[in-house]
Amino acid sequence: MSEKTHSDIDALSFEQALAELEAIVSKLEKGEIGLEDSIDTYERGVLLKAHCERKLQDAQMKVERIKLGPDGSVAAEPFDPAN
């Protein structure tokens, strides 16, 4: 895949990347494209999936959990999915 394609993906929002990824999956499942195009399309799909995962990780790191202390005080702490 070319560097241009990678830059193109980096500029996409999560929603745009997810929509394109869903379209790629649909095309591949239906067999609507030839073998060479399927390989290129699959590679783009892999990059889109990684981009979506990065966007989700970034969002998760920004989320804070509001915690109520025993004395009634309110504090924010980083989100921990294990808790």
Domain for residue 83, yes or no?
Answer: no
Number of domains in the chain: 1
Q: What pLDDT, in 10s, does the model give residues 45-82?
A: 999 999 999 999 888 777 777 777 788 888 777 766 67
CATH value at residue 41: 1.10.287
Domain for residue 31, yes or no?
Answer: yes
How far, in Å, CA of 39 to CA of 4, rounded?
A: 17
pTM of the model: 0.70
Domain for residue 23, yes or no?
Answer: yes
7 sits in which H/E element? helix 3-10
> Could you tell me which residue, 13 or 74, shows the higher pLDDT?
13
Domain for residue 44, yes or no?
Answer: yes
Q: Which range has the worst mean pLDDT, 2-6, 36-40, 71-75? A: 2-6
Domain for residue 64, yes or no?
Answer: yes
End-to-end CA distance of the chain: 40
Domain holding 34, by residue range, is 3-78
Candidates 19, 79, 9, 11; CA nearest to 50 is 9
